[in-house]
Amino acid sequence: MSLNSSNYTVSIDQDWRLYKQDIAGSIAHARMLAKQGIITPEESEAICKGLTSIRWEMEHAKFPWKPELEDIHMNIEDRLKDKIGPVAGKLHTARSRNDQVALDLRMYTKEVAHEAAKDIAKLQSTFLDQAESNSDLVMPGYTHLQRAQPILLSHHLLAYVEMLQRDRKRFLQCISAADVLPLGSGALAGVPYPLDRYFVAKELGFSRISANSMDAVADRDFLVEYQSACAICMMHLSRFAEELVLWSSQEFSFVTLDVRFTTGSSIMPQKRNPDFAELARGKTGRVYGHLMSILTNLKGLPLTYNRDLQENKVGLFDAADTLLSTLNVFIDMIATMTVNADKLSCALGEGNILATDLADYLVAKGLPFREAHTVMKQVTDYATSQHKQVNQLSLGEYKLFSDDFSTDVMDISLKGSVDARDVPGGTASVRVKEALNEARKRLEMDKHD
């Protein structure tokens, strides 16, 4: 197979996606040039009308793309010349493709980061809906994938609400990091024209302008921050995807996923595979790869612009697409999953899950915790040898290991275990109810961010 080296520098297959940002930036730039007397108002008007017409062509798939022009910027400029003639050449006054692409990327990053923050809030609300619908259900909590202590299912789901809250804050920080106007920096040194950069910033919704022209065209930290936020958020989604894979298996059967989020087997007709959750788990690695790619891409670049930076767009667009599509899948998948209460109840009857509560019982009788822990290890070993759970033992059997056991040991229960964890952040019903209410209030307040 022969390769066409003439296409090696072409990026239009990726950066066509920046057409809205590129046109918006060019319109603001043209208006500023007229305001400052660098071009005439008539020239600015012709440029803006031509750009608006080009945007319509692109939105309606009527734009005549030319790969030989390499990128989105030159395609638009060339088409503008077709439409309005030589005056189109005045648009690039006091501007370089270096500060132009930096502008487009910042605008795009602000938009996708805002969309991610919005979708994360929807996903948090979906988790809260499931937590509230199943607020009284007790399930096994796990460490090392071994049954450990009883917890409320709602407490488990609220853990993901907290993770997502951190994710949401990271994306809001990404918006702030990208919210710097680089236009006016030129190729690297600034431009010899009386620009009004603050006018352009206001037109395009930027809160501040760049302080150093060299840094402005070379900086891609905001992309690193965005892709890092994507990677961390995908990691959180992947953790719940793993739990869904386990919980929807016949071995657990804690939940049943809606048929839309499973697929059948090509050979085994009884199978319903949790493919959406598995794909989310798999796609996480791709987003990690994009983060490592941009970090590696940037680590050896001298100031200022280098063509290596063109490669950043591939990972940026794919990370954004992957994250946003995964968030939307999770919103629907979690909203429609069914919790199987009877299976949770069955799982609680195994694994000596009240052993820690029995150790705490002995502590309340005056035994040091380490001694109580040793006693309960002996009790659980005995119960296992008798094919029983610790809560199935008789008082006489308990007394084989400690005289501190008395009749009230028989009162220890799953509900009592849960409600005993009545500390801020604990799984007690009253604490979880408070946490649910606080999370709802926080979501309502966050709508104004």
Q: Determine the straight-line distance between the first and last CA of the chain, rounded to whole angstroms.
A: 53
Q: pLDDT tens-digit profile of 7-48?
A: 888 999 999 999 999 999 999 999 999 999 999 999 999 999
| Packed helices 429-446 and 97-133: angle between N→C axes, nearest 10 degrees | 150
**Residues 37 and 141 both lie in one domain:** no
Instruction: Examine residue 407 and say whether the peptide bond preceding it is cis (omega within 30 degrees of 0).
Output: no
Q: pLDDT tens-digit profile of 319-341?
A: 999 999 999 999 999 999 999 99
pLDDT at residue 128, rounded to an integer: 98
pLDDT at residue 394, rounded to an integer: 94
**Residues 52 and 120 both lie in one domain:** no
pTM of the model: 0.94
In a domain, 357, yes or no: yes
What percent of the chain is modeled with pLDDT above 90? 92
pLDDT at residue 91, rounded to an integer: 97
**Residues 143 and 273 both lie in one domain:** yes
CA dihedral 446, 434, 423, 408 (to 10 degrees): -160
**Residues 212 and 323 both lie in one domain:** yes
Q: Find out whether 48 and 31 touch, Cβ atoms under 8 Å.
A: yes
**Residues 351 and 331 both lie in one domain:** no
Find the CATH number of the domain harbouring 278. Answer: 1.20.200.10
In a domain, 434, yes or no: no
**Residues 296 and 415 both lie in one domain:** no
| Packed helices 221-247 and 97-133: angle between N→C axes, nearest 10 degrees | 30
In a domain, 1, yes or no: no
In a domain, 304, yes or no: yes
Mean pLDDT of 278-289: 97
**Residues 103 and 76 both lie in one domain:** no
Structurally, the chain folds into a number of domains equal to 3
Find the CATH number of the domain harbouring 62. Answer: 1.10.275.10
Q: pLDDT tens-digit profile of 112-150?
A: 999 999 999 999 999 999 999 999 999 999 999 999 999
In a domain, 446, yes or no: no
Catalytic residues, which ones? 144, 265
In a domain, 438, yes or no: no
**Residues 120 and 229 both lie in one domain:** yes
Residue environment code for 48-68, b if the CB has 16+ CB neighbours within 10 A, otherwise e: bebbeebbeebeeeebeeeee
Which of 93, 115, 144 terminates a domain? The answer is 93
Find the CATH number of the domain harbouring 395. Answer: 1.10.40.30
Instruction: Grade residue 1 by pLDDT with cuts at 50, 70 and 90.
Output: very low
Instruction: Grade residue 446 by pLDDT with cuts at 50, 70 and 90.
Output: confident
Q: pLDDT tens-digit profile of 215-246?
A: 999 999 999 999 999 999 999 999 999 999 99
- Determine the structural domain holding residue 227 and report its residue range: 98-197+205-342
**Residues 263 and 396 both lie in one domain:** no
In a domain, 223, yes or no: yes
Instruction: Report how far residue 431's alpha carbon sits from residue 298's, in angstroms, rounded to the nearest whole number.
Output: 46
